[in-house]
Structure formats: C-alpha cells, structure tokens
Amino acid sequence: MKKIIIFGGSGFIGRHLIEQLQDDYDVIVITRRSKTMVNKLSNKVKIERLRSRNVTKLSALFEDAKAVINLAGENIGERWNKKKMAKIKKSRLDVDNIIIRAARGTKNMLKVIIQGSSVGIYGLSRTSI
C-alpha cells in the first residue's frame, strides 16, 4: 500500500484528512503528542513521536512515501500578542526545518511535499446580506 506521512494530524484539518486517507494509504502521523493521539486515531494509522534532534528515523520513514503533508504548528485559536506570534512563527519554521533535514537524508528524494498553514475567517461579507 502507498504511504503518506502527515505532520500536524491532531488539528482540525489533519484529523479529517487522515479519516479520508486511511483506507487507501498507510498513514503515518508525526506528532509531538504521540500518547494522546493514540486514543484519537484509528488503529489503521501509525503514530510516531516528533524528535527534532534525530532526523535519521524520519528519513527512514520518508523512504518510499508518496507524499509528506505538513499541517503542524502552534494553535492559532487564542489571543495573539507578540509572544504568541513569535511562538506561532517558530513552531512552523522548526517543523519545516526538520522536514527538510529528513528529506535530505533519504536515498530517494520525495516527489510531493504539501505545506499548509493558514488563518481564515469564513462568514458574511460586508457588501452582501
């Protein structure tokens, strides 16, 4: 079966994406909260703990993966101040750096890396009712 690796699988989008992919792919979720994720995901999904200092294991997981999807980062659903904004930025850059280092350690370069990080407000526009 084809393998897909997802960073940030505990978030809103990640959980729904995993649900859609798990029947057709071997899904591996890389997370900081591996113990809490075990109870939230189906037993079809493999969970690996994110280890930023040792990317050798990640490089091995990346081998033969069809894609790496990165949705990881600090929760944005709180009041923003300078400290919070710095934490949001750092969390995204740190994971990006880990993914790049792990990808460079593979024998076969990844063909697809999907990066998602966004803030959106969905609602009525000011010009229509």
Residue 95 contacts residue 117 (beta carbons within 8 Å): no
Span 66-108, pLDDT tens digits: 999 998 888 887 888 999 888 888 888 888 888 999 999 898 8
List beta partners, residue 28: 5, 46
* 45-53 long-range Cβ contacts below 8 angstroms, 24+ apart: 45/9, 45/18, 50/7, 50/95, 50/98, 52/94, 52/98
Span 13-27, pLDDT tens digits: 888 899 999 999 999
Q: Report which residue type is found at 40.
A: K
pLDDT at site 24: 93
Location of structure tokens 């690996």: 48
pTM recorded for the entire structure: 0.81
Q: The CATH number of 3-115 is which of 3.40.50.720, 3.40.50.360, 3.90.180.10, 3.30.1600.10? A: 3.40.50.720
More confident residue, 69 or 124: 69
Q: How far apart are the first and last CA of the chain?
A: 48
More confident residue, 128 or 100: 100
